[in-house]
Amino acid sequence: MTDTAVQVRGASLSFGSRTLWSGLDLDLARGEFLAVLGPNGSGKSSLLKVLLGQLPLSAGSVAFPGVRHTRRAPGIGYIPQQGTTEEAPVVRGVDLVGLGLDGHRWGVGVRGRRVRDRRIAEAVEAVGAAPFAHQPITRLSGGERQRLRVAQALVGEPSVLLCDEPLLSLDVTHQRSVGELIDKRRRDAGTAVVFVTHEINPVLSYVDRVLYFNAGDFRIGAPDEVMNSATLTGLYNTPVEVVRIAGQLHVAGAQVALCEDEPHHVAERVS
């Protein structure tokens, strides 16, 4: 099997006259952890939709040379952004996780009901969701639902894991546990990870490369190659200062909105 899990060539994505990004070439290796950063609206989540086949490219191509899609192993796992899915009141946490094995075909087993149930239970336990996994989804907090979505994405043992803000609504302890779980999966099984986030610090120690989008442009490279004053100054076309304090990255710059939810902060954490 090839060491390349995801291959992107000459990719461009436009909506009308607006181009989110263009000329993107990317080879994502098996077991590699790619963090995708940038302001809201810069094309981070759109990249995941392209990789999921939900959004067509304006130009270029996407391939998965190292991914095998089978009934037992769906190939690509996906952790959606909070609030992007709706669950019926009768759906329990374990039912949601089970969709990672069955899709929407209720009752379809994987090598028998017992094996299926064991795999679901192991995934639930791994994210610390066992105490509430049998409750209806509608009764759970945002953080509890998100932990179940992580379990759903991992239970199918994917070759590529696409994560859209998976740490939202989680406290620091569970951010750490979810990050460690994803990192362990990619190290043990060679799963390639594409991790969209507004906050790189919780996963900084896991990141191999950063893809940073802004205003139709992008930079890609190792964290130190991208997350530095010179690179971000060029990307934002305004003076930006990046400093490392106690193992975390912080960014300062006049009117630099690395997280567009708070556009007027002069200094803030990397978003």
What amino acid occupies position 263?
P
Instruction: Give yes or no for a contact between 79 and 147, defined as CB atoms under 8 angstroms apart.
Output: no
Residue partners of 195: CB distance under 8 A and separation at least 6: 33, 34, 35, 36, 163, 166, 182, 203, 207
Under a CB-based contact definition with an 8 Å cutoff, are residues 26 and 35 in contact?
no
The pLDDT averaged over each successive group of 10 residues in the chain (271 residues) is 88 94 96 94 94 95 80 74 63 90 54 82 90 92 86 90 88 85 91 94 95 94 95 91 90 56 35 41
Architecture (CATH level 2) of domain 4-197: 3-Layer(aba) Sandwich (3.40)
**Boundaries of every domain in the chain:** 4-197
According to the model, what pLDDT value does residue 37 have? 95
Q: How many CB atoms lie within 10 A of CB 176?
A: 14
**CA torsion through residues 70, 73, 79, 84, sign:** positive
Tell me the whole-structure pTM to 2 decimals.
0.85
Nearest alpha-carbon partner for 80 in 100, 65, 58: 100
**What is residue 253's predicted lDDT score, i.e. its pLDDT?**
72
Q: Which long-range contacts (CB under 8 A, 24 or more apart) does 57-60 make?
A: 57/11, 57/12, 57/13, 58/12, 58/13, 58/14, 58/19, 58/22, 59/10, 59/11, 59/12, 59/22, 60/8, 60/9, 60/10, 60/11, 60/12, 60/24
DSSP symbol at 92:
B
